[in-house]
Structure 1
Amino acid sequence: AYFVGSQPVNLTFQLGIIDVSLPDSAENALYRGYLAMQEAIRKGSNQAVFFDDLLEEQIQRDRDLEDALPSALENNEFSLHYQPKVDANGQCCGAEALLRWHHGDQGLISPAIFIPLAERSGFMPKLGAWVINEACAFLGRLREQNNHLPGRLSVNVSPWQLREETLPSTLQSALQATAIPAPQIEIELTESALVDSLVTARKQLQAIRELGVSIAVDDFGTGYSSLAYLQDLPLDVLKIDKQFVDNLDSTRGQQLVEGIINIGTVLDMTVVAEGIEDRTQLSALCALGCQYFQGYLFSKPLPEEAFGEWLRKNLQTPLTTS
């Protein structure tokens, strides 16, 4: 960083590197340098990337998937799976909708791969709108089956969707089309998405809150943590990230989790711990005062029919959390 007057100015660089000792045409050399540069840009600030054949193959695979996104949506290759949340009594108190892509040729594609591609290509707002509509439609289908999800269904919203002025109207239209009460839906945003777009986020989230939709902060404590935004923004839920849950076997890890729970309590926010895989973690969280949980200990994300069956069983016989 350097200073202009009294204001700091941050400099960043992205560098693509090729081996100029290899015999090649100027056109290919420039192209390969461009590919390495694009990969450095994708990785973020202060990156240097060396070109190799594997990089070119990976970029081509990403391009193929990126090009396939629109047709995948048209061909119903996307679906939602649902992971339940439970309270301290083992009773279901909500669920999170998680996007899955079953590619026609390649099978299941990880969200860690296709979500960044959808964001980079500008397809995320359309895909995100489909997720919102499908989540509301799912609640409608549960209702028709005389099944009922206690609490709220959470839908993940990307930073790109948050920047779209149409997000509140998309939510409103989905709720009206399915006759789902707004308090049954909750949107989840990562902490970094909120901080990166704080001014836009404040306006958007206020409009969403006015609809009656709740707002959760996912991965709390892993991004650019600031207590100020917790006060400034209309937030309802803090989710304790899995990396904190995994460190509950240490005193420092327990202190961090207890601190997050206390912050949520002071701000009158619900605190949910996610990524719980064993009863030792669950016992430690209960001892620290956490009351809501999500993770493989209770259920992995389930397709619609399997989740409906899980829900019926849970309503009849809650899980044992003690």
Structure 2
Amino acid sequence: MQQDFLRARQKALQHELNTLGNLYRYLNRDILIIDAASTIVAASSQLLAKLQLLEQETIGTPVERWFEHTKQSPTQSFYQTGEVLFKPIPTLGALLWLTPSSHETANDWATLIELKFPVVEQSSSGTDDDRLILAPAQALAVFQDHIDSARENCKSRSFLGLRPQLPTDTQLAVSEAEVMAFMRDCALILHSLWSYPVLVLDQSMLVVVLPEQNEVDDAHIALADETLNAHWAKLEKPKPFSTRLSALTAPIMGHTARDFLDAELQESLCLDELERRKRVLEQFHKRGFLMHLQPVMTLTPGEPVLFFEALARWSGPDPMPPPVFLSIAKDMGLEAPATKILFALFCDAADDLINSDEIARQRFSFNIDAENFTDTSVRSFMKSRLMSSALAPSQVVIELIETNNVKDPESLTTAINDMKAWGAQIAIDDFGRSFSSLERLITIEADIFKLDGSLTDRIEQEKLAILVSKIVALANKLDMTVVAEGIETEDQLKALLSLGIDYGQGYFLGRPALPTTFASRTSAT
């Protein structure tokens, strides 16, 4: 009986441990779990990426294989708080053991810890033990955090980049260790000059992280170059390698930290393109857009509006049309943040109209790139923003654009089902613009599809009218509502009605306008 009890207890503890591992494995934290025998049983994906380790390399191995305690805090057990070093890359510096598990049943059997990575540390002793330089993988991760923050907040963030000019002559080839030693010296010199964080990404790139709102200019570059040369002149020996200093900017200059390792990136963008990117970045940062609303109406006179489509308009001088500024934002890797900003403005515009009249219960549509729609962080933001809005999920229509460009159709299906389960309706925008439209109509479970304005413009052509009538009949069988876009003449309206299309949108029916315009019309009626 005692053996049965022990086996059951062991099974229960193992189940607990597995649960802990699964819980923390995918957190955006540096988590490690070890058991009573000091064996690693779980590690978060983020931690493994920073340490450049595979899960199969670490799980089931002694923790002492990878970590050791420092002389400053000689503890007898890895369960206790203390400083440790990562053995494969000792230049990583001190790591801190944090948050031992207080789990009642597993506390004596497994320990949950979080490793804290120092960004930049320099001891007051000024010795060779200064912990300034992170190993490349860690430095890249820290640098990526700065870029991600700039992207999410739609800010420009400046860095000073340094590249060693290595000899190309094979007879003068140097080892990676020599280059890294030189890069460490450069980092120490630049850190002592400004006290800014300095990160060595690899043997080909070092970056100085400037404070927010600071921009790298010619004065920074000249001072850094002068200081580096003066250091080796003081030592009375030649500088091992010449260096190239340049200004780097995120997110304007690149999408990820690794983009900065591409020496051609900066030169690939002309000054005009850089200026356009800066303008778009600034516009999103200050939320410089107005949401206009255009009604989607019943084609029969006197019937109510089906829903309002929200259209973003650039606010201020020299406006850019939406396709242009959205394309530029995408090129900068700002798709998700830009979508979140525009969706927040969309909710504000809908709130203005809903709150203007107690009987206003219209639905409102928001355009989103189908690939971007599959981003779970974007959908989570949309749901969160709706919870603080007067707009109910059942009043939202998601208009999917560029659905034929989705790389993972299954993820799009998941995203559609997610939002429909939450109460929103789905529309396929610009139907008929490409040859893949019919396939999209059948495979995407949408509630509405909108005929592209290019079809409406030629709807009086007999053959095209026959084709559209067949598509409308198919849509009716699929329980989809058909909306014709781009109606600009009475003749187009009559032709569409004759084909059995009940809803439309266009300048002939109603131009885009601010929500207050529609609010005053509603009050007048």
Short-chain TM bin = 0.7 to 0.9
Q: Does 1:94 align with 2:273?
A: no
- Aligned partner of 2:449 in structure 1 is 238
- Aligned partner of 1:171 in structure 2 is 382
Stretch moving more, 203-212 or 191-200: 191-200
- Deviation string 1:185-223 (CA, Å, 9 cap, x unpaired) is 111112544654412211111111111111100111212
Structure number with larger C-alpha Rg: 2
SS at match of 1:108: coil
Q: Does 1:269 align with 2:480?
A: yes
> Aligned-pair distance for 1:134?
1.9
Contact 1:195/1:229, CA 8 A, preserved across alignment: no
How does the TM-score come out when normalised to structure 2? 0.46
Cα–Cα, structure 1 residues 160 and 68, in superposed 2: closer, same or farther, change >3 Å?
farther
- Looking at structure 1, the residues matched to 300 and 515 of structure 2 have their Cα atoms a distance apart, in angstroms, of 24
The 5 A counterparts of 1:15-26 are none
Q: Does 1:82 align with 2:287?
A: no
SS at match of 1:95: strand
- Aligned partner of 1:113 in structure 2 is 324
Cα–Cα, structure 1 residues 98 and 59, in superposed 2: closer, same or farther, change >3 Å?
farther
How does the TM-score come out when normalised to structure 1? 0.73
Cα–Cα, structure 1 residues 166 and 193, in superposed 2: closer, same or farther, change >3 Å?
farther
Q: Does 1:222 align with 2:433?
A: yes
- Looking at structure 2, the residues matched to 208 and 142 of structure 1 have their Cα atoms a distance apart, in angstroms, of 23
- Looking at structure 1, the residues matched to 357 and 521 of structure 2 have their Cα atoms a distance apart, in angstroms, of 14
Amino acid at match of 2:286: N
CA RMSD in angstroms, aligned pairs only = 2.4
Q: Does 1:201 align with 2:412?
A: yes
Contact 1:190/1:220, CA 8 A, preserved across alignment: no
Larger RCO, structures 1/2 (Cα 8 Å, 6+ apart): 1
> Aligned-pair distance for 1:127?
1.4
- Looking at structure 2, the residues matched to 160 and 191 of structure 1 have their Cα atoms a distance apart, in angstroms, of 8
Stretch moving more, 304-313 or 272-281: 304-313
Cα–Cα, structure 1 residues 249 and 143, in superposed 2: closer, same or farther, change >3 Å?
closer
Cα–Cα, structure 1 residues 160 and 198, in superposed 2: closer, same or farther, change >3 Å?
closer
Cα–Cα, structure 1 residues 235 and 102, in superposed 2: closer, same or farther, change >3 Å?
same
- Looking at structure 1, the residues matched to 324 and 440 of structure 2 have their Cα atoms a distance apart, in angstroms, of 29
Contact 2:290/2:314, CA 8 A, preserved across alignment: yes
Cα–Cα, structure 1 residues 122 and 147, in superposed 2: closer, same or farther, change >3 Å?
farther
- Looking at structure 2, the residues matched to 179 and 92 of structure 1 have their Cα atoms a distance apart, in angstroms, of 19
Cα–Cα, structure 1 residues 86 and 149, in superposed 2: closer, same or farther, change >3 Å?
farther
SS at match of 2:319: strand
Cα–Cα, structure 1 residues 224 and 253, in superposed 2: closer, same or farther, change >3 Å?
closer
Cα–Cα, structure 1 residues 88 and 64, in superposed 2: closer, same or farther, change >3 Å?
same
SS at match of 1:178: coil
- Aligned partner of 1:125 in structure 2 is 336
Amino acid at match of 2:306: C
Amino acid at match of 1:82: L
Contact 1:93/1:150, CA 8 A, preserved across alignment: no
Amino acid at match of 1:94: F
Amino acid at match of 2:337: K
Amino acid at match of 1:290: I
Contact 2:350/2:515, CA 8 A, preserved across alignment: no
> Aligned-pair distance for 1:166?
1.6
Cα–Cα, structure 1 residues 85 and 310, in superposed 2: closer, same or farther, change >3 Å?
farther
Cα–Cα, structure 1 residues 246 and 226, in superposed 2: closer, same or farther, change >3 Å?
closer
| 1:302 aligns with one of 486, 508, 513 | 513
Amino acid at match of 1:99: A
- Looking at structure 2, the residues matched to 159 and 100 of structure 1 have their Cα atoms a distance apart, in angstroms, of 21
Cα–Cα, structure 1 residues 111 and 196, in superposed 2: closer, same or farther, change >3 Å?
same
- Deviation string 1:271-310 (CA, Å, 9 cap, x unpaired) is 0001000110000101110001100001221123223234
- Aligned partner of 1:291 in structure 2 is 502
Residue ranges of structure 2 left out of the alignment (5+ in a row): 1-266
- Looking at structure 2, the residues matched to 191 and 64 of structure 1 have their Cα atoms a distance apart, in angstroms, of 27
SS at match of 2:458: coil
